[in-house]
A and B are shown apart, each in its own frame.
Chain A
Amino acid sequence: MPRIVSITLQNTDDARPIIAAITEDNPGLVIHSYPGIVKIDREGSLTVKRSSVEERLGRDWDPQEIHLSIVSMAGNLDEEDDYFNLSWA
């Protein structure tokens, strides 16, 4: 059975550049749209890169700002200054 990691983000202006960055950096995503939220699934792992988000946002971005947009997640979390990664072993 495939091990799907997932991140669900609010459908807001704050989250849009994050969603765009994830889409660009993680090939093979499956994106589900529900009212007010976007659920992003991927097999194995998924990474949110600080630099990718900053490119789209036009300002410095701390990955911890994701707290303001995240609704849910699935997978083991690895959090660092430059990225936010979810994965199953």
Chain B
Amino acid sequence: MNANVKLGLKQRYSLLTRGLDWETTYQPKEKIFPYAEFEGIKIHDWSKWEDPFRLTMESYWKYQAEKERKLYAVLDSFAQNNGQLGISEARYVNALKLFLTGISPCEYQAHRGFNHVGRHLPGVGPRVAAQMQSLDELRHAQTQIHTLSHYNKFFDGFHEFTHMHDRVWYLSVPKSFFEDARTAGPFEYFIAIGFAFEYVLTNLLFVPFMSGAAYNGDLATVTFGFSAQSDESRHMTLGIEVIKFLLEQDPDNLPIVQKWVDKWFWRGHRVLGLVAMMMDYMLPKKIMSWREAWEIYFTEAGGSLFGDLARYGLKVPKYADIASAEADHISHQNWCTFYQYSQAAGFHTQLPTAEEMDWLSEKYPTTFDKYYRPRYEMWAQMEKDGKRFYNNALPQLCNVCQIPMVYTENTDPSAVSGRVSEYKGDKYHFCSDGCKDIFDDEPEKYSQAWLPVHQIFQGNCGGPELEDVLKWYRLNIGADNLDQAGSPDQKMWDQWMADRAGVGG
């Protein structure tokens, strides 16, 4: 009898990776996996976990090594060739400063988070998937830092990214997002990051930054981005497998999972407001508007996704309609905030040009000219009068998303949106129903949040004056902050362009 039967990929993978786990006998299972039960998630059969990408460790190392070789070759070449001279305009680099201080430390947080759940889930399939993702996220942190280190040689605002991430007011927005997830149980973490962030919302983070890089001559970031995105595809399949697995294991999991999907969609939407602002205001050459990106990657793609998951009883996230309506406002509201607080930020801002305002009018026909153009025109006049506006008051922050309370009611864009809860005798303030719901579900957790503005007022951030706080941030005053016009970055760039125009020597 001929026994030379070739096994298919699924079978080979199963034989190579299953049966390596064991039932514990020296210690009870609850002691080895102490976080597996408290969230109320019921798992009856861990073997039902299906690895969507059947990558053995051998294949993983092979493909990752190949990606690294290609990426670092491009980064070396970019550095040798002074690739930074090829960007569209100097001010593009501010998008990269926001990325390195805001996103890269979160990649490291994701690395730690997946490392943790990779230990604490009782099922061997998801443990391995989480461990691979943990390695990927560390890779992303490293490759982002490496890519952007070249810009650090020339431009301000990159030099203290980890220190700033832990302290600066706007960076607490992405930081608290990840800390919220990491301090949750393993199942919530998996839904928060694996599903909501890495599946539902990931394209809204990466496509704007990476396409923005491509449109603005930033070869280094483009190459990093595409290299990382190939890892992201694996992360996306992990996210969708997590949610299907939990929903298939027990119908009692549905309301818990729904609550997490609602929460993390909303927290993700709030963090992505920074990306919205980047797309609409910080790219000299624009790819598309935030509104357009939202249509493609949430309304359409999310529509297909939630249509597929409806068979489990899962609904489209709560407040998705509010988030979609906000897509016409959020980028403008955020940019108006950063414009006026530029003295306290680690990157430069500037007013949109006349051409940019016409583009914004076209992309936002119902909101830009009515609510936002007048503000920019007023500030432009103030600049002409030599009184470029900087707001010297500290804003109230939302207790959950930690963003200044600048958002407006869905029904009335001239009314600030604010909600309040009371807990143990104190009042807590929120920008929206979405954030208030999150607080009300776990007030003990969110009442402990480290809020930058509160901390400044409590005297924990270096001193009572703005200058004290900026020094505590390790922000280089007069270099990292203030308007793009007159910045050392701009002066350096203008000199490069003048040099390029000359004969040389």
A68 vs B48: C-alpha distance when bound (angstroms): 29
Contact with B along A66-86 (1 / 0, CB 8 A): 011111111111011100000
B308 touches A70 (CB 8 A): no
Chain A minimum-CB-distance residue to B51: A79
B52 near A: Cβ within 8 Å? yes
Closest CB in chain B relative to A37 CB, distance in Å: 7
B8 near A: Cβ within 8 Å? yes
Contact with B along A17-52 (1 / 0, CB 8 A): 000000000000000001111000000000000000
B222 near A: Cβ within 8 Å? yes
A37 vs B203: C-alpha distance when bound (angstroms): 13
The residues in B between 358 and 408 inclusive whose CB is less than 8 angstroms from any CB of A are none
Query: What residues of B have a CB within 8 angstroms of the CB of A65 in the complex?
Result: 63
Majority DSSP secondary structure for residues of B touching A: helix
Closest CB in chain B relative to A38 CB, distance in Å: 12
A71 touches B304 (CB 8 A): no
Contact with A along B212-234 (1 / 0, CB 8 A): 00110000001000100110111
The residues in B between 34 and 64 inclusive whose CB is less than 8 angstroms from any CB of A are 52-55, 59, 63
Query: What residues of A have a CB within 8 angstroms of the CB of B240 in the complex?
Result: 76
Q: How many residues of B contact A (CB 8 A)?
A: 39
Q: Which of A71, A74, A76 contacts B301 (CB 8 A)?
A: A74
A4 near B: Cβ within 8 Å? yes
Chain B minimum-CB-distance residue to A43: B304
A37 vs B311: C-alpha distance when bound (angstroms): 33
The residues in B between 407 and 434 inclusive whose CB is less than 8 angstroms from any CB of A are none
Q: Which of B52, B215, B233, B305 contacts A71 (CB 8 A)?
A: B233
B52 touches A79 (CB 8 A): yes
B214 touches A34 (CB 8 A): yes
A35-B214, A88-B304, A89-B308 are known contacts. Are A71 and B230 too (CB-CB below 8 A)? Answer: yes
B226 touches A71 (CB 8 A): yes
Query: What residues of B have a CB within 8 angstroms of the CB of A35 in the complex?
Result: 211, 214-215, 222, 287
Closest CB in chain A relative to B10 CB, distance in Å: 7
A6 vs B10: C-alpha distance when bound (angstroms): 23
A72 vs B9: C-alpha distance when bound (angstroms): 22
A53 vs B395: C-alpha distance when bound (angstroms): 57
B233 touches A64 (CB 8 A): no
Closest CB in chain B relative to A7 CB, distance in Å: 9
Closest CB in chain B relative to A56 CB, distance in Å: 20
Chain B minimum-CB-distance residue to A87: B308
A34-B211, A34-B287, A77-B53 are known contacts. Are A72 and B308 too (CB-CB below 8 A)? Answer: no
B66 near A: Cβ within 8 Å? yes
B478 near A: Cβ within 8 Å? no
Chain A minimum-CB-distance residue to B52: A77
Closest CB in chain A relative to B59 CB, distance in Å: 6
Query: What residues of B have a CB within 8 angstroms of the CB of A77 in the complex?
Result: 52-53, 237
A71 vs B70: C-alpha distance when bound (angstroms): 15
Q: Which of B63, B211, B237, B300 contacts A64 (CB 8 A)?
A: B63
A68 vs B234: C-alpha distance when bound (angstroms): 12
B233 touches A72 (CB 8 A): yes
Chain A minimum-CB-distance residue to B308: A88
Query: What residues of A have a CB within 8 angstroms of the CB of B232 in the complex?
Result: 71-72
B59 touches A70 (CB 8 A): no
A34 vs B9: C-alpha distance when bound (angstroms): 33
B54 touches A72 (CB 8 A): no
A75 vs B240: C-alpha distance when bound (angstroms): 9
A35-B215, A68-B230 are known contacts. Are A80 and B304 too (CB-CB below 8 A)? Answer: no
Closest CB in chain A relative to B425 CB, distance in Å: 48
A22 vs B311: C-alpha distance when bound (angstroms): 29
Query: What residues of B have a CB within 8 angstroms of the CB of A72 in the complex?
Result: 202-203, 206-207, 229, 232-233, 236
Contact with A along B284-316 (1 / 0, CB 8 A): 000100000000000011011101100100000
A8 vs B225: C-alpha distance when bound (angstroms): 13
A80 touches B9 (CB 8 A): yes
Q: Which of B67, B230, B240 has the most CB of A within 10 A?
A: B230
A68-B66, A76-B240, A79-B9 are known contacts. Are A4 and B230 too (CB-CB below 8 A)? Answer: no
Chain A minimum-CB-distance residue to B13: A79
Contact with A along B233-269 (1 / 0, CB 8 A): 1101100100000000000000000000000000000
Query: What residues of A have a CB within 8 angstroms of the CB of B307 in the complex?
Result: 1, 3, 88
A1-B304, A34-B211, A74-B305 are known contacts. Are A79 and B54 too (CB-CB below 8 A)? Answer: yes
Q: Which of B9, B59, B287, B305 has the most CB of A within 10 A?
A: B9
A73 touches B233 (CB 8 A): yes
A76 touches B230 (CB 8 A): no
Closest CB in chain B relative to A42 CB, distance in Å: 11
B230 touches A67 (CB 8 A): yes
Q: Could you list some 7 contacts between A and B, CB below 8 A?
A: A1-B303, A2-B304, A3-B308, A71-B232, A71-B233, A72-B233, A72-B236
Contacts A74-B305, A81-B8 known; 11 new A-B pairs at CB < 8 A: A1-B304, A6-B301, A37-B211, A64-B55, A67-B233, A68-B230, A71-B229, A71-B230, A74-B236, A77-B237, A79-B54
The 9 closest A-B pairs by CB, nearest first: A35-B214, A71-B229, A77-B52, A3-B304, A88-B308, A67-B63, A81-B9, A70-B233, A36-B214
